[in-house]
Amino acid sequence: MSEKIVFCRGGGCTAKLGAGVLSRILERLPKGPEDPRLLIGYDSRDDAAVYQLTEDLAIVQTLDFFPPMVEDPYLFGQIAAANALSDVYAMGGSVKTALNIVCFPETMDLNILGEIMRGGAEKVMEAGGILSGGHSIADSDVKYGLSVTGVVHPAHIYPNNQGRPGDKLILTKKLGVGIVCTANRVQQASKASMEEAVASMTMLNKYASEISRSYEIHACTDVTGFGFLGHLHEMMDGRLSCRIDADRIGVIAGALDYADEFLLTAGGQRNRNFAGPYVKFENVSFAMEEVLFDPQTSGGLLMAVRADQADALLSGLLECGHPASLVGEIIQKNETEIHVRGGIS
Amino acid sequence: MSTIKVNALGDTCPIPVVKAKNAIRELDGPGQVEVLVDNEIAVQNLTKMANQKGYGVSSQKMEEQRYCVVMTIGEMGGETKAAAAQGAVTPEGSGMPAQETEQNGGTCAPDARRNIVVVISSDTMGNGDETLGRMLMKGFIFALTQQDLLPSTILFYNGGAKLTCEEALTLEDLRSLEAQGVEILTCGTCLNHYGLTEKLSVGGVTNMYAIVEKMTQAEQVVRP
């Protein structure tokens, strides 16, 4: 399949609205009566909403769609689906059903849409879910994604902000897919870099999430549009601090070089504006800073795990083929929320 | 010195940066590159590149969705002392070669800014009701962002220091001003006094000497 999606112009999670803008709107929305069964809503800015149905069953709902970030429609479908499904895994849940969300120009070749949806359907199957419907709109630009429903035991939900001082932080995928896709847009990414980025984006977080369930995970989120540091800032929840070892963070090949060429997204700069004030860098190169702010499409899971279980969890993830690494630890809140250091290991 | 103009209106990142890099390559030596963009994030990404590369850089909001970023490239590909002085905000008519001004034709002159210094000495505006005063001050700073003629510097001292720190409602507007090349300076003694030293979230820290110097050298001092 080599048909080009001509509308590919900086898609994926780089197309997300900035966190700063968004939180101002959300804070002003009218709030209805409180329902105690809504265990996680957007007050906590978590990855998905969780609503308790019975004592031992809660549903996880999430929705994600975006413009293409790659030119191959089939791969775009896979990536968009993996990204949408990921929110359920970030909550510790299992996928049950999914609905397609499609925006597509009427004048465009429908075979392209077929390829996008084939990619999406395959990922839903791999997730063990059922594609059960959808909705399509004629639009000037291509956009695709899923609305996903999953289930989770109410006692085993992974919140994104309940980490504890002492917890180790594990990241299950490498960073830099946003920068690599951006470089690819201006024909400056190598084939190998782009292939590594695509492989990373199409990989489901299902396996990492399942492996982690044998361990005590205090907080978990998937790293997407707000970048590693933006999501980490949300995880710190204003009451924790952390130390990050920059050298241990996996980076997609080429991403640092492209960052040094300033092939950067608007999203990355918005993330810097949003999370930058909470971060102190020490011995970290400009390129690595950019990678840490880079918006990730279908990024990995960032987990805060009980310290004495971190090594076992990490080996489990590595055995399963995840390019996971132990990237830092949560500490008591101090004047620096996120302290990123290079050259220490 | 040669100048290349780049139109990156309607381009999303990283295209403005890519275009600017091509223009710099085309210059093949010292000179200026003027980039027109339609959003502030692009201004910030261009400024980031210039800072990393050691070019002189200044930027200005021309109108809604129209910003001009001027990069000055020195002899060694980096910034020379003279280029730095030119790239910086200078009072009208001082130091810029006449031909340069003509060439710019007023469309994108980095020195169109007069040396206006805004002094903010309280987190409220006017006397009377405090809540109203705070609201007015927020409004004042927002209105500053909308002016055609931006100040070169905004000084914050005493209660004004609170406006540049974490959780201040004015942060976003101040960052926007900073992105457009306005210097934001807060009095260090004041931050220390209010226990806000660690919470400063926009601009730099300054001292009384610098404050006095900025005010005495200003063409106009504005106090809300």
Interface test mutation site (partner A, options B48, B55, B191, max chain A beta carbons within 10 A) = B48
pLDDT (tens digit, 9 = 90+) per residue, A102-127?
Answer: 999 988 999 999 999 999 999 999 99
- A133 or B112: which leads in pLDDT: A133
Contact A262 B21 (CB under 8 A): yes
Taken in order of first residue, the domains within chain B and their CATH numbers are 3-104 (3.30.110.40), 116-222 (3.40.1260.10)
DSSP A63: E
Which amino acid is located at A78 in the chain? Q
How far apart CA A311 and CA A313 sit, in angstroms, is 5
Contact B45 A262 (CB under 8 A): yes
Cβ A252 vs Cβ A199: under 8 Å: no
CA B220 from chain centre, in angstroms, equals 17
Q: CB contact, 8 Å: B42 with chain A? A: yes
Taken in order of first residue, the domains within chain A and their CATH numbers are 12-156 (3.30.1330.10), 168-341 (3.90.650.10)
pLDDT (tens digit, 9 = 90+) per residue, A46-69?
Answer: 678 999 999 999 999 999 998 898
Contact B41 A20 (CB under 8 A): no
Contact B13 A10 (CB under 8 A): yes
Q: The tokens of A255 are what?
A: 């991403």
DSSP reduced 3-state for B201: coil
pLDDT at A10: 54
Q: The tokens of A57 are what?
A: 């069953």
Q: Is A242 a catalytic residue?
A: no
Q: Could you identify the residue written with the tokens 């009566």?
A: A33
**Which A residues in the span 264-293 are in contact with B, Cβ-Cβ below 8 Å?**
264-266, 269-270, 272-273, 277, 286
Which residues of chain A have a CB within 8 Å of the CB of B21? 261-262
Contact B198 A20 (CB under 8 A): no
Under the banding of pLDDT at 50, 70 and 90, the label for residue A16 is: low
0.80 exceeded by pTM: no
B97: preceding bond cis by omega (within 30 degrees): no
How far apart CA B39 and CA B44 sit, in angstroms, is 9
Residue B69 to residues A53, B63, B66: CA-CA distances in angstroms?
55, 13, 10
Nearest to B14 among A262, A270, A286 (CB): A262
Lowest-pLDDT choice from A271-280, A302-311, B35-44, B105-114: B105-114
Q: CB contact, 8 Å: A233 with chain B? A: no
